[in-house]
Structure 1
Amino acid sequence: MRIPFIKYNHQKYLDELAKIEQSADDYQVLYTAEEYRKTLLQYIQNATHRIYIVALYLERDEAGQEILQAIYDAKRRNPNLEVKIFVDWHRAQRGRMGEGKSQTNAQYYHQMQQQHLDAPIEVYGVPVNRREVLGVLHLKGSIIDDTLLYTGASINNVYLHKLDKYRYDRYHVIRNRALADTMVDYIKQQFLPFDAIQRLDSAEQKTRKQLKPDIRVFRHHLTQANYQFEHQATANHLSVTPIAGLGKGNSLNRVIHHLISSAQHKIVFCTPYFNLPPIIIRDIIRQLRKGKHVEIIVGDKTANDFYIPEDQPFNIIGGLPYLYEINLRKFVERLQEFVDKDQLIIRLWKDNGHTYHLKGLWVDKDWALITGNNINPRAWRLDLENGILVHDPQHQLQDKFAKELMTIRQNTLLVNHFQQIQASQFYPKQVHKLISRLSRIRIDRIIKRLL
């Protein structure tokens, strides 16, 4: 009697979540980074009353300049347009790897503000913790008028495929006034009242030391914060539920756990970094033993944004893709019996030097989660994350989701045996030496929790 009770609780948890009714006609899925960039620019150009951009960073490269200039142009055409941009405070204070501090995004925002005094917009830095390594703003979503454009991507050349390389993500465009209002209300209520939130387009910037007490208060508040809205949809209708989470046991973590555990037939999920929290590994194994099917689509190590080609100078961050691959090989070896039965499907994504940043879940044909959450220990404990849970009991979005999955699978290799995944003894000499040293002092465990 115990197992049906557990099943019922997982499904009951999801069914009882507050939901916002959604029209299928107003839900669009895009399939390429370039298409998303063009769509975002179009929505900015046509904005009538508000633009709220939330991302880990808006880079000062060609794509970032294109987006920011389009926003300034929209503000100049419509002075009453409400414009607010939110990025991670720590990320904005440093330059790219190897560049000086003067080349920061924060300084770029100030320069742009000085060049557009006739069209003022507001750019804010959000410090989720005292240091970047201990937590960042990983909340996602651009709200333009009554439409949410949701992706795990940040704003730069590779994420938006502005030049020759792209970083593949998911791109959903959801027209829903109640959802858009809910997302904006969260920002207004959970961000703007707090002293830790800083304007990045001003000349003077506070130091981390000066902000330390304010950040502590802000982070504590965020662990208790979530989206607030009236319950509008029943369990029988197409609906969307925005969910935010920070810290162990938060609402988004619980939803992911219950989604996997509630599956009656099949679970599909994507993650760019195979570094799953222990509870998710247990959930997957439990479902496999019950006869459910699981498909995992993960990036090949060469499609990881931390991967360093062998002909380039190597550093410690370049060891991460190999650590993730070791995790994956051990996982497949442990569960090879389910792979042999085609019950566990592992796909490696790779496309000629492009990178992979997809994350999210599809459960049976009833539920889907779009999120920036990497489903790893860092996302589970340190970063401020969010996602949109889609409940589709009548399968109105099934064609769109099926096409999305088909597109993702196009550049994947099916793993039929753990020996297809390269063993660590065959890694480049400098990688093998680094991993051996890290493992010997057990610091690899700490690294995988933080990155």
Structure 2
Amino acid sequence: MILLLSLLVLCIIAGLLWIDYTLGKKQHMKHVRSLEFDEQLGDCTLYTIGDSFLTNLFHDIQNAEAHIDMLFFIVKKDAISMELLHLLKKKATQGVTVRFMLDRIGGYRVNRAMIKDLKKAGVQFTYTATPRFPFFFYQLNRRNHRKITIIDGKVAYVGGFNVAKEYISRDPRLGNWRDYHLRVVGRVIHPYAAVFNDDWDIANGEQKHPIVKNTNEGNKEMRIIATDGPPLEQVFHEMIEEAEQEICIGTPYFIPSERLFQSLLAALKRGVHVHVIVPMKSDHPLVKEAGLHYLYRLRAAGGDVYFFDLGFYHAKVFIVDQKYCDIGTANFDRRSLYLNQEINTLIYDQAFVEEVRLSFDHDMQDSQPFHEHYTQQFHYGTKIRMGLAYILRPFL
């Protein structure tokens, strides 16, 4: 009797969650707020190692004179996170306007006492993407996954790194962390500022923003795309369709929509070489198993699949024909495609694309190729998890 009642309660809960998710999704589709901008000129530097990224970020923050706008998905309570918070408080006490925004779920480790301390020092703090009723479960799954820092309206950082010990390879479970992040200068700063301000307005209700200075540094053509779910699928689809020779995709989670997966298979059929790098290790349950279904089929169709084996692979990189590349916050998975707020930078500069392609080559050298016979070695537990992951792939 107790078992039947428990099953009944679970069914009711599952039904309520399904209704919440379905209605929340319909509401989201009616109010998608993606931002797309014209190409702008600028210059950019690529960081793939966390220590280099944070050293330069902290240096630019230290030299800030007027204002700092910062948005991260994850900041924790470890030593490197506390160093960042201390630096923001220090700049605020020096008279620099500091606006600091964290995703409500990703930033949950920043507690009330830490926030109170930030505000006491003069830092303006707010959470973004706070889940609310009536569609709490759906909004819980919709995250602001962007990572943007803008300093004095002259320098911006955007990409895959968050701030915690694992991102600087201090977590022994994950080991060496590989990611792709940009330091950007030039007129292209304007779109980044527009995206940050839009997020800040929604979260905080404020309409007064720092002025972004007009700087003419750099001659690289760049285009910023800020997506709020579904439009990202169209962006990736067009990139795949445009490819004539080669597609390179680096992602921590390879769980494409059926449309994108069929586009990749079609690209292989027309002679395009497709290379995909994913991590050997997994930082979340079932995400690796969900990807194996697609990776096996891609490999069987002639694509090259690699498992990064030097540590954890968190890059979000997409290279087309060595003509242009995309570096941003979006993963090649269902969450980024349909749920998350993301920001990506398309760069149309031959020399820079070659640099990114060289970095991708190094990633492949630090990886193990995926062979079809590997699937024959999967034990029973892995196959069960793969089946469960396939069912849950919209949430992964």
Which of the five TM-score ranges fits, normalised by the shorter chain? 0.7 to 0.9
1:106 offset after TM fit, Å? 3.3
State the distance in 2 between where 1:364 and 1:125 align. Answer: 39
Structure 1 segment 258-297 matched on structure 2, within 5 A: 258-297=238-277
The corresponding residue for 1:113 is: 118
Structure 1 segment 234-253 matched on structure 2, within 5 A: 238-248=220-230, 250=231, 252-253=232-233
Structure 1 segment 43-442 matched on structure 2, within 5 A: 43-76=60-93, 78-79=94-95, 81-93=96-108, 104-113=109-118, 117=120, 119-127=121-129, 129=131, 130-131=136-137, 133-145=140-152, 146-162=154-170, 165-176=175-186, 178-188=187-197, 190-194=198-202, 196-197=203-204, 238-248=220-230, 250=231, 252-300=232-280, 303-306=281-284, 317=285, 319-333=286-300, 335=301, 338=302, 344-351=303-310, 354-392=311-349, 395-415=350-370, 417-421=371-375, 423-424=377-378, 426=379, 429=381, 431=382, 435=385, 439=387
The corresponding residue for 2:392 is: 447
1:173 offset after TM fit, Å? 1.2
Preserved CA contact (<8 Å) 1:63 1:162: no
State the distance in 2 between where 1:371 and 1:258 align. Answer: 17
Preserved CA contact (<8 Å) 2:60 2:151: yes
Preserved CA contact (<8 Å) 1:30 1:171: yes
The corresponding residue for 1:203 is: none
Structure 1 counterpart SS, 2:340: coil
Q: Which residue type is aligned with residue 199 of structure 2?
A: F
Preserved CA contact (<8 Å) 1:57 1:92: yes
State the distance in 1 between where 2:270 and 2:293 align. Answer: 26
Q: 23, 30, 41: which is aligned to 1:21?
A: 41
Q: Which residue type is aligned with residue 260 of structure 1?
A: I
Greater strand percent: which structure?
2
1:399 offset after TM fit, Å? 4.3
Preserved CA contact (<8 Å) 1:127 1:197: no
Q: Which residue type is aligned with residue 355 of structure 1?
A: F
Q: TM-score, normalised by structure 2?
A: 0.79
Q: Which residue type is aligned with residue 265 of structure 1?
A: Q
State the distance in 1 between where 2:183 and 2:359 align. Answer: 13
Q: Which residue type is aligned with residue 63 of structure 1?
A: I
Preserved CA contact (<8 Å) 2:41 2:188: no
Deviation by residue 1:60-82 (Cα, 9 ceiling, x = unmatched):
11111111112222223x30x22
Deviation by residue 1:187-222 (Cα, 9 ceiling, x = unmatched):
22x23333x5499xxxxxxxxxxxxxxxxxxxxxxx
Distance 1:271 1:108, change over 3 A: farther
Q: Which residue type is aligned with residue 369 of structure 1?
A: D
Identity %: 18
Structure 2, unmatched stretches of 5+, are 1-35, 207-211
Distance 1:345 1:163, change over 3 A: closer
Moved more, 155-164 or 29-38: 155-164
Preserved CA contact (<8 Å) 1:55 1:140: yes
Preserved CA contact (<8 Å) 1:60 1:108: no
Q: What is the aligned residue count? A: 344
Distance 1:422 1:179, change over 3 A: farther
1:138 offset after TM fit, Å? 0.8
The corresponding residue for 1:209 is: none
Preserved CA contact (<8 Å) 2:156 2:184: yes
Preserved CA contact (<8 Å) 1:62 1:162: no
Preserved CA contact (<8 Å) 2:319 2:325: yes
RMSD after superposition: 2.8
1:163 offset after TM fit, Å? 6.0
Preserved CA contact (<8 Å) 1:305 1:356: no
Distance 1:270 1:184, change over 3 A: same
1:111 offset after TM fit, Å? 4.3
Distance 1:173 1:295, change over 3 A: same
Structure 1, unmatched stretches of 5+, are 1-15, 94-103, 200-228, 307-316, 339-343
1:380 offset after TM fit, Å? 0.9
Distance 1:323 1:445, change over 3 A: closer
